[in-house]
Amino acid sequence: MASTVYMFHAIGTLSSSDSADVNYSYSNEKFIEFLKATGPATSIVKAKNSNITNSPVLTFDDGHISNYEAALSLVENNLGHGDFFVNPAMVGKKDFMSWTQLRELSDLGMSIQSHSFDHIYLSDCTRKEQVHQLKNSKLEIENEIGMGVFILAPPGGRYNKVTEEISKELGYQSIAISKPGVWKDKDQYLIPRIPVMVNDSVTKLSECSELNSKYIRKMKRKYYITGLAKMSLGNKMYEKLRERIIGGEK
């Protein structure tokens, strides 16, 4: 097995008042072009439960309202499925999908998974706080959707060893992380993903399906450097500095 897992956020043009981070948005036109170029996609859940190999895997973080239309486009154009990671505390609020919409996506074969309960950085939480975030998120999504929740995507990609320990204790089968790479083994606990940014070209994203992708190597170097910055500055200071440089709050 060797699959590339892509991490999307908002899809389409954002209004000036939208709460989503424009740096992580992706145009609907490029989204469809990307899917047509790479072939029908699948979700982590479907890939783990079948013999699917080498298909691109789609994941969407935050539960932005634009993901509803993106999911419908997948179905209407026969372009596959994806995992949608949501925060129960944000469901139904401005700019976010409702439980009714999420249930509809689940009925269409989409996977609804955990992005923690609130959109807070797990690495900044105590063990007790992390248990609350992971346990209550899993329970509420399962109660609302009627399907099992087995995958966690930590907000902002921030997690630690405690997160892994608690996740396993609560029955999460995998953690979808923000570290770039290729998913090589169905049984690996930490699943690398390719973060999709607003200016990423379809060509560059398509190249990530190659095991020795130069673009992935470049992203790994960037991930390592920003990781050092987060460790030395702390999440809050890092976010303030990032906002000054490029804007946004992701």
**3-state DSSP assignment of residue 59:** strand
pLDDT the model gives residue 247? 57
Q: Which amino acid is at 132?
A: H
CA dihedral 77, 29, 181, 137 (to 10 degrees): -70
List pLDDT tens digits, range 127-176. 999 999 999 999 999 999 999 999 999 999 999 999 999 999 999 999 99
Does an H or E element contain 99, and which?
A: helix 99-107
Q: What is the mean pLDDT of residues 99-119?
A: 98
Q: Give the total residue count for the chain.
A: 250
Instruction: Spell out the domain ranges in the chain.
Output: 5-210
The CATH architecture one would assign to domain 5-210 is Alpha-Beta Barrel (3.20)
Q: What is the pTM of this model?
A: 0.93
C-alpha to C-alpha distance for 177 and 158, rounded to whole angstroms: 8
List pLDDT tens digits, range 183-203. 988 889 999 999 999 999 999
List pLDDT tens digits, range 59-97. 999 999 999 999 999 999 899 999 999 999 999 999 999
- pLDDT band for position 250 (cuts 50, 70, 90): very low
Residue 214 Cα to chain centre, angstroms: 22
- Residue at token pair 């500095």: 241
